[in-house]
Chains A and B, each alone.
Chain A
């Protein structure tokens, strides 16, 4: 018996067991779904079903995933063990070339080219589905990720109720345009353009109101309180039938008219956005660029440095005169602003809004974009948002066998965990964040203390 235990404890066999377990989980994740009446269909099907890959490999799934596990074990044992660990390999695999980027002209050419691609892009995508996905699911989520990045990435605060700001932005739009059961302010039904300042002002006030009491709390308590805030907003949106239309959405039971589209009436210029997503795409693109420029200026300003200081060592930051609460509340409000704006865009584009659009799951989705892309890295979260949202929309559009839309959150959850284990700085790391993570792991820095609030 002891010989068996010893054999199991050897690194080689432990790697084999881990590979087998990991592939078994992947098999379950990608396998068929079970149901209420036949709850065992999922597990049995995941291993028992027959598959063939390009007609080359007919056989049961368990054999396929067993082979995958062997391959994984082989790579791990014979390739990665030689001098490098799995984590280091994952890190080097995704390090973009930096050298050329240090030159200013190269950078500017790159930015201009990027905007050029952004401008011609909708003409390369002809499918109706992908055009509307580009607006509703990609551009809007880039905005949301940029906003959450200010909170999580810059200020180091875990906000799990970020969707609340998105919801407030959307409902504010419906309110201002007179599309909610509750009467519009000022008695006039305004163009959604006027909803932008109102929504942004409202979410920033909400951010300050929520932040001022709660941002004194330790990191993990803050996460739970914001989670609760997100839930409360959803509960209210769902149940206040007279105000929000309840679960029926902005139209409510009274059958209010929908939220109007954007339109411009400036002297001779008249333009009206319609159901066509392309004009919306350009409108959002303009604002995405504005938000990116504003946030990156902010990151490299005194405010951004103060955030870094607080994130790294709150006690030391306070000793040089930085008021942590003030800057944290500021991060909350600024981050909320872009979520509020995203809410306006969603509302103006989708005519009716429903509480089901603003669930906790959306918060987690946004968090996954930020974490995967790289906390604190504007380029990272933008790319992360595009990659993940494109992937999830592809899965929705042409699901592989066994995939259900709700499975997405299983993959996002796994992604969060895997990113934290293997590459905590994300796809395109921010320079400061990468240094922090490396330093903390080497035992330098005070990040742990700060986040857990355990001052000496």
Chain B
């Protein structure tokens, strides 16, 4: 079996009296496309926020393995530290820096892990300029990769929904992650955009070598894209397996039919 990238071990997350994640354990391997599905309110986004350091679960541990093989405990780390360790993400309702252009959005991601260098920034020394050039090159490359090279100077909030999704992916990739967490990337996109998005996600994994963790409601997309799935319901993992196994699992069918409409399933 290959090397794990995330090991989530008996994680419990509570808000006041509400249990959002209940004793969740899962494992994600390097290089795979893994999906987490489940009805609304099952705790998927809470899981993402715990994996990225936005929330701090009360119990359990989340271990992340860096590219060099060293490990890091995610719980208790600030979100920017987790990002620096190689975890990038997108948000459910895409969160761009809406007054900035697509180009600037990606560039912020590309340069965030460089040294701060106020003095350098003010003096514009040769080192700063070289840094800038590298960030610029990377930004252009990524915009081309996601197919937004023509919209580089568009204000991000005036992009279409599908384009915003791509831009968010590019911004995440700019931080040079090992794993990209996608929170409902296909929400609000039309069928042809969905196909393109699925292609893009596959290319991110194949060409950039970035592992993908995905939350998605669109079952067609998930089943065609993911190699392995976890099913969450009421904050607990109720099933795990390949798309075929999940499709045949009576517990999963029950959870979905019991709580949500067929439109989502």
Contacts and interface: CB of A to CB of B under 8 A. Distances in A.
The answer to whether A and B touch directly, with their CB atoms under 8 angstroms apart, is yes
Interface of A: 294, 297-298, 301-306, 308-309, 312-313, 315-324, 326-327, 330, 334, 432-433, 435-436, 439, 444-446, 455
A446 B128 CA distance: 31
B155 A435 contact: yes
B219 to A, nearest CB: 25
Contacts of B220: none
Contacts of A318: 54, 78-80, 83
Interface of B: 52, 54, 78-80, 83-84, 88-89, 91, 95-100, 104, 107-109, 111-114, 116, 118, 121-124, 128, 131-132, 135, 155, 157, 171-172, 174-175
23 contacts: A302-B135, A303-B118, A303-B121, A305-B107, A305-B108, A309-B97, A309-B108, A312-B100, A313-B96, A313-B98, A315-B91, A319-B52, A319-B172, A320-B112, A321-B83, A321-B84, A324-B80, A330-B118, A433-B99, A439-B157, A446-B95, A446-B98, A455-B54
Given A298-B122, A302-B114, A330-B116, A320 B174 contact: yes
Given A308-B97, A318-B78, A444 B157 contact: yes
Overall SS of chain A's interface: helix
Nearest to A295: B122
Given A305-B107, A326-B116, A297 B78 contact: no
B88 A320 contact: yes
Contacts of B83: 318-321
Given A302-B111, A321-B175, A316 B97 contact: yes
Contacts of A317: 97, 108
Contacts of B171: 320
Contacts of A297: 121-124
Nearest to B171: A320
Nearest to A432: B99
B64 to A, nearest CB: 15
Contacts of A433: 99
Contact of B104 (A305, A316, A436): A305
Given A302-B132, A315-B91, 5 more contacts: A301-B124, A302-B111, A309-B100, A322-B112, A444-B98
B80 A303 contact: no
A323 B122 CA distance: 20
Nearest to A327: B116
B97 A306 contact: no
Contact of B121 (A302, A435, A439): A302
